[in-house]
Amino acid sequence: SAAVCEIDSNRKEVKIKRLNNFSFFHNFAYEKDGLRLSKAYGVGKGKLIPWSELILEKHGPVVLREVGNHGFFAIAPRAIKQNRNLSQISSDNKDMLFHCPEQGCCSEFTSSEELQDHVHLGKHSEIEASESL
């Protein structure tokens, strides 16, 4: 199921220790044991600051609260159309209101949804033009 939620923002900030000479460092790498700082990428090992020294107060887990009672739109069940015989199909051809906009495609559809599906799938049927002399 789905719900509309918001993040509990009471404890959204992590309190960390202020780093001396922070502006001297230009490369930062998050590692399992801590934060590695270096003045330039690929020069030396850098300085590793353990997480225990860096983080003063952790924030708790992210909590989602359900907001209100939002209903969702009811969806009507869709039935699968039975195959029709050729006489019904030929009489329905005049009801084809939607034509494929792709140049050379001769497909026609009774609903805009069918046309959209056709365009998105890209299965165009083309009639070969006869050459006139």
Residues 6+ apart with CB under 8 A from 46: 27, 29, 36, 37, 38
35, with CB counted inside 10 A (0-12, 13-18, 19+), is buried
pLDDT at residue 1 in the model: 60
pLDDT at residue 46, rounded to an integer: 85
pLDDT value of residue 123: 73
pLDDT score, position 117 = 83
Q: What is the full per-residue pLDDT of the chain (133 aa) written as tens digits?
A: 677 777 777 666 777 778 777 778 888 888 999 888 888 877 878 889 898 888 777 777 777 777 776 666 666 776 666 655 555 555 555 566 788 888 778 888 888 888 888 887 877 776 555 555 4
Provide the pLDDT for residue 70: 64
**Cα-based distances in Å from 53 to 47, 49, 56:** 13, 7, 7
Per residue, the 3-state secondary structure of the chain, as one string, reads: CCCCEEECCCCCCCEECCCCCHHHCCEEEECCCEEEEECCCCCCCCEEEEHHHHEEECCCCCCEEECCCCCCCCCCCCCCCCCCCHHHHHHHHHHCCEECCCCCECCEECCHHHHHHHHHHCCCCECCCCCCC
In the prediction, which pLDDT does 31 show? 92
